[in-house]
Amino acid sequence: MKILIATGIYPPQLGGPAKYAQNLKEEWERQGHKVIVKTYRLEHKLPSGIRHLYFLFKIIPAVITCDFIFVLDTFSVGMPATIVAKILRKKIIMRTGGDFLWEGYVERTGDKVLFKDFYETTKEKWSKKENYIFNLTRWTLQNVSALIFSTQWQKDIFVKAYDLKSDKIFIMENYYGEKMENILPKEKTFLAGTRKLKWKNLDILPKVFKNISEAQLDLNTYPPEEYMSKMKECYATILVSLGDISPNMILESIRLNKPFIITVENGIMDRIGSIAIIVDPKDEKDIENKVKWLLDDINYKNQIEKIKNFKFTHSWEEIAHEIIEIYKKI
């Protein structure tokens, strides 16, 4: 088949959708399919609305000749791709990632509302632009051929907020890779580097670690290969965001048998809850206590053993096959 992947970011840019698109492209090509990737380039410099229109026209030739479109966000490329798919009567499968509306709202206002509470508590505070985004996103989600969520948690939030019908909704877990070689840490460094966005809640961590002299905090961001090297060498990873659907940082930690501290506001607790150290992202003392607990040598070794016994995998080959099976059903 000929498959079009539409994604707002693509390597060398960093982020989950970029990695997802690249690995799917490589896997589908191994299976003999022809894959075209369309991503934002000039669009990053254009104002909202104009960039969506530009992307819409840019993808038309590829949409005409493809068998189906696979989209990796709900608004930036998802909305224009869905419009083109409707006009040209092409099947379009959307995999949701984060939540563009919630992330933008938190960034604009600084209101640290949890993702799970966002749609029920903030509507009266939305700007005209945010109401516009909500309405367009609702139309998009309701008009794709199939909608894939990586977690039941996000599905439940979106179905209620956007009045979605269940007959075209699928749940397909994120990539869980084979285990990799680990390195025993020389220092007690907690790796926390991620995108510097307000919903990531990074500003709470320096306050926590100022009271913990025996540990260091690494908030730097690194290119992918260097980031993996830093993760191999670190003592643990820590993620305290206000809502993370299926965080790649934690999934990579598990591959390395690396202990991790994770926000309770995540979508993968049903999968990783037995090996996780969970914190309330708004409770500074809770985070501090969990860091100190993990600094104990016995607790640390026990966490490593728990993670070593976690054997679940979900390969790119399986993911690529599952998407093709969804295409055959719609």
pLDDT digits (tens, 9 = 90+) for 170-215: 999 999 999 998 888 999 999 998 888 999 999 999 999 998 999 9
Whether residue 52 has pLDDT greater than 80: yes
29 and 76 part of one domain: yes
**Banded model confidence at residue 129, pLDDT cuts 50, 70, 90:** very high
In a domain, 181, yes or no: no
Question: 155 and 86 in one domain?
Answer: yes
Are 71 and 118 in a shared domain?
yes
Indicate whether 144 pLDDT > 90: yes
Together in a domain, 23 and 153: yes
Q: Which pLDDT score is estimated for 210?
A: 95
How much is the pLDDT for 16? 80
Query: Does a structural domain hold residue 254?
Result: yes
CATH number, domain at 114? 3.40.50.2000
266 and 240 Cβ atoms separated by less than 8 Å: no
Check whether residue 150 and residue 17 sit in a common domain: yes
Question: Does 180 map to a domain?
Answer: no
Scanning 234-268, the segments in alpha helix (DSSP H) are 248-255
Q: Give the residue among 115, 108, 155, 97 at the shortest CA–CA distance from 131.
A: 108
d(CA 304, CA 279): 18
**pLDDT tops 80 at residue 15:** no
Per-residue CA distances from 182 to 223, 228, 231 (Å): 19, 11, 9
Q: Is residue 184 part of a domain?
A: no
Q: Are residues 19 and 158 in the same domain?
A: yes
Cα 51-133-38 angle, rounded to 5 deg: 35
pLDDT digits (tens, 9 = 90+) for 278-312: 999 999 999 999 999 999 999 999 999 999 999 99
Q: Which domain holds residue 266?
A: 189-308
pLDDT at 224: 79
- For position 18, what pLDDT does the model report? 86
Q: How many domains does the chain have?
A: 2
For residues 263 and 115, membership in a common domain is answered with: no
Strands 189-191, 169-171: parallel, antiparallel or unpaired by DSSP?
unpaired
Q: What is the mean pLDDT of the chain?
A: 95
**Structure confidence at residue 74 as a pLDDT band (50, 70, 90):** very high
Ranking 9-23, 34-48, 204-218 by mean pLDDT, the lowest is: 9-23
Whole-model pTM: value is 0.92
Q: Is 124 exposed, middle or buried (0-12, 13-18, 19+ CB in 10 A)?
A: exposed
The reply to whether 182 falls in a domain is no
Structural domain contains residue 164: yes
Query: pLDDT per residue over 223-277, tens digit each?
Result: 878 888 999 999 999 999 999 999 999 999 999 999 999 999 999 999 999 999 9
7 and 75 inside one domain? yes
Is residue 219 situated within a structural domain? yes
- Size of the chain in residues: 330
Q: Examine the domain organization and report whether 152 and 195 are in the same domain.
A: no
